[in-house]
Copies of this chain bind each other. A is one copy, B any other.
Amino acid sequence: MALPLAVIVSGSGSNLQSIIDKIEQGVLDVDIRLVLSNNPEAYGLERARTHGIDVWTKSHKEFPTREGFDEAMIEAIHRHGADTVALAGFMRLLTPVFLSTFQGRVLNIHPALLPSFPGTHGQRDAARYGVKISGCSVHFVDEIMDHGPVIIQAAVPAAPGESADDLAARILVQEHRIFPQALQWFAQGRLKVEGRHVHLAGYGDYDAQTVDGALINPPLEKGF
């Protein structure tokens, strides 16, 4: 059975689109039951509707507490039968009530090589710092922002003085590859977490992959 997934977005939802695309291409064994957003104007909701996916949206400002907002999301996710959550550009910290409900089943994509540049401006902070290599990370979510065990990372070059937007575009290409791949490994039950280490079943001693100028580890499988 396909993994019943909820996806939470705050903005354009291009990572949601990459998940939808991989499902439609038949390589990602996931059923998106619901797309949620705290921003009724998020373009990600429009992408979901276009593909016939149910949406849920409420402004967090309607809720007196963070927990209240999270409980409303939990209720909607349960009602749609999803048991796993992908954060695709969701810009708010989840509360313990949410994380304990979906213990070990919330995945996030972050546009930096964690633990470098956590927070809401990963690409901008990297561009300002002047790193020569940045990238993106998919990780399990814990109660510290951008901190949980890392599943896969991709590294890309950064040029001195380039704009945050240029760097962000180069990173985004890799986000669209590694997030669906990580979800597929999770859907297949192949990710095993031991402390901070995420092991991937079915791989031997693997070599990382270099593709289009990026370094990706673990390497992508066919179709991603």
Question: A: which residues have CB within 8 A of B?
Answer: 113-117, 128-133, 135, 137, 149-161, 194-200, 205-208, 210, 213-215, 217-218
What 3 A-B pairs come out closest when comparing CB atoms? A157-B208, A210-B210, A215-B215
**Known contacts A208-B213, A213-B208; is A197 also within 8 Å of B160 by CB?**
yes
A-B contact list, 14 entries, CB within 8 Å: A113-B113, A114-B116, A114-B131, A130-B149, A132-B151, A132-B152, A132-B153, A133-B135, A133-B153, A157-B215, A159-B206, A160-B194, A160-B200, A213-B215
A127 → chain B closest CB, angstroms:
9
**Known contacts A130-B149, A130-B196, A197-B160; is A155 also within 8 Å of B114 by CB?**
no
Among A130, A135, A151, A206, find the residue whose CB has the most chain B CB atoms closer than 10 A.
Answer: A130
Taken together, the copies of this chain in the complex come to 2
**Known contacts A116-B115, A198-B160, A205-B159; is A217 also within 8 Å of B132 by CB?**
yes
B130 and A153 form a contact (CB under 8 A): no
A213 and B207 form a contact (CB under 8 A): yes
A195 → chain B closest CB, angstroms:
7
* Residues in chain B near residue A207, CB distance under 8 A: 157, 213
Measured CA separation A120–B132 after assembly (Å)? 21
* Residues in chain B near residue A199, CB distance under 8 A: 160-161
Among A152, A199, A208, A214, find the residue whose CB has the most chain B CB atoms closer than 10 A.
Answer: A208
Measured CA separation A155–B174 after assembly (Å)? 15
